[in-house]
Structure 1
Amino acid sequence: MEDGLRVENSEGVVNSEGVANNENAKDSEGVANANLENTFDENILDELDSSPILCEVLGDALPKCRLFHVKLCKEGLIRGLVGPRDMCILWERHILNSAAAVPFIEKIVVNSKQKRIADVGSGGGFPGLVIAACLPDVNITLIEPMERRVVWLEECVSLMDLKNVTIFHGRSDEVISQVKEHKIQPFDAVTCRAVAPMTKLAGWTIPLLRKHGSLVALKGKSAQAEIEKASKMIRKAGGVNPRVVEAPVARGLQSTTVVIVDKA
């Protein structure tokens, strides 16, 4: 495996065989993916492909993110990671949206020696892979239970040459157990995007944090209502000061709604 990449199974043990055998996942997607592949137009252009905004937002991470973008264009739809309507707005909807979390992470880890964050429910790599590309000095653990998505993440980490990424094949509660049993250190920050409502997310993320660490969750316009509904769950999980922040992405682009929750 590539340096910096470690794929673990649901027991938290390094899987020496990796996750290269993905036949079951491929079979389960069946004929539907074959039909999508036949209709995919490789000539579809992203609206921001040649925009200076990409360099302004992503900086030195742009070359790695371009590799990610190309792979998403070629395989994201047929592998069920993005929708058909996303294909011409992948930069804005997924990559730049994910990059909006970067300033928050930078602020959280600035005084940390370990600089460790976890991305829960990494799926297609949002926001985890984008953060990893933008912050090469931060160690990122991608937590993903679905094997076919772990395979995708492994491929992307190798393609993007991300040395600061570990992939955990399992659920967040398994990692929480390891934190509680002092098998691993808690994280400075936890990120997630489009995983679950805050009523569930609180218990899946906040226990992963060190004292005074923070959850950075990329959410939709219902974020304020979500944290109000989840106030008891947030407190039970050890969270304090939940708030909603509108994070600017770039001029002319829609801001990203972010929920921040601190660990008491």
Structure 2
Amino acid sequence: MNYNLSILEQCCKEFHLELSERQKQQFIQYYELLAEWNKVMNLTGITQWEEVLLKHFADSLSVTRVIDLSQAGSLIDVGTGAGFPGIPIKIAFPHIKVTLLDSLNKRINFLNEVIGQLGLEGITAVHGRAEDIARKPEHRDSYDVSVSRAVANLASLTEYCMPFVKPGGCFISYKSGTIEEELVQAQKAIKTLGGRQDPPATFSLMNSGITRSLIKIIKQTPTPRKYPRKAGLPTREPIM
């Protein structure tokens, strides 16, 4: 197959990124593995090349609208699924030490295959729930950046993701659709967990008509030790 990378190249130009030939090949390899594994396990409902470029790869890299990742040393992707946004970020910013966290072991097997096939270094796939992994000393208050494209309420996501961030770092949530009500509902959780929210960045993804928002929460003080609460509680009973 002849892979046309123009969508990704246009996206990178918009985000002031320049990909080497090796990085472009890594994105192609990633797509091929995604399409192959998706035949036997449900990784994504988006499988067409140009759709993956736009809705997975370009979308993952859109985080550069709200943060200069060239200055970040470490990043954790919470609820990474098929590796979005963590793997595209790692390909584009190979200097960042990346942790991919997911609760489904089958996905971890896929992620490890991608890491091996693409020759990525300084990236680890971790199997577990955020509520448990965030209590481990090697992960607590340890990351410059926490990101998540997981579909969950912002108040719940903040409780899952903020404990991983070191004070002075940030949590960035990828959102679609209208977010105003969700932002209002999440304010108590953000404050309780030691954060301060920047104004959200809302934009059309590559002029596609797909509206995306990036919500950046700066961690000002350490998250109280009682958070995150035990498994399932942040989803069932978000801090509001």
Structure 2 match to 1:139? 97
Q: Does residue 202 of the first structure (1) align with residue 202 of the second (2)?
A: no
Shift of 1:203: 0.6
Aligned-residue RMSD, C-alpha: 2.4
Shift of 1:70: 1.3
Deviating runs (4+, > 6 A) in structure 1?
Answer: none
Does the CA contact (< 8 Å) of 2:141 and 2:163 recur in 1?
no
Structure 2 match to 1:160? 118
Q: Does residue 101 of the first structure (1) align with residue 63 of the second (2)?
A: yes
Structure 2 match to 1:53? 7
Q: Deviations over 1:197-228 (max 9, x none)?
A: 11210110112111121111111113332121
Q: Does residue 259 of the first structure (1) align with residue 215 of the second (2)?
A: yes
Correspondence list, 1:106-255, <5 A: 106-107=68-69, 110=71, 115-179=73-137, 186-247=142-203, 249-250=205-206, 252=208, 254=210
CA separation of 1:184 and 1:229: change in aligned 2, threshold 3 A: closer
Does the CA contact (< 8 Å) of 2:8 and 2:54 recur in 1?
no
With CA pairs under 8 Å and 6+ residues apart, which has the higher RCO, 1 or 2? 1
Q: Which amino acid aligns with 1:93?
A: K
TM-score calculated relative to the size of structure 1: 0.72
Count of aligned residue pairs for this structure pair: 210
Shift of 1:52: 1.9
Shift of 1:262: 0.8
In structure 2, runs of 5+ residues without a counterpart are 13-18, 221-240
TM-score calculated relative to the size of structure 2: 0.78
Separation (CA, whole Å) in 2 of partners of 1:63 and 1:246: 30
Shift of 1:146: 0.9
Shift of 1:77: 4.7
CA separation of 1:54 and 1:184: change in aligned 2, threshold 3 A: same
Structure 2 match to 1:92? 54
In structure 1, runs of 5+ residues without a counterpart are 1-42
Structure of higher CA gyration radius: 1
Structure 2 match to 1:78? 40
Q: Deviations over 1:24-47 (max 9, x none)?
A: xxxxxxxxxxxxxxxxxxx9x9xx
Q: Which amino acid aligns with 2:55?
A: R
Shift of 1:183: 7.0
Separation (CA, whole Å) in 2 of partners of 1:95 and 1:144: 19
SS at match of 2:184: helix
SS at match of 2:201: strand
Identity of aligned residues (%): 21
Q: Deviations over 1:140-191 (max 9, x none)?
A: 1111111111111111111111102012211222232124xx7765110101
CA separation of 1:160 and 1:105: change in aligned 2, threshold 3 A: farther
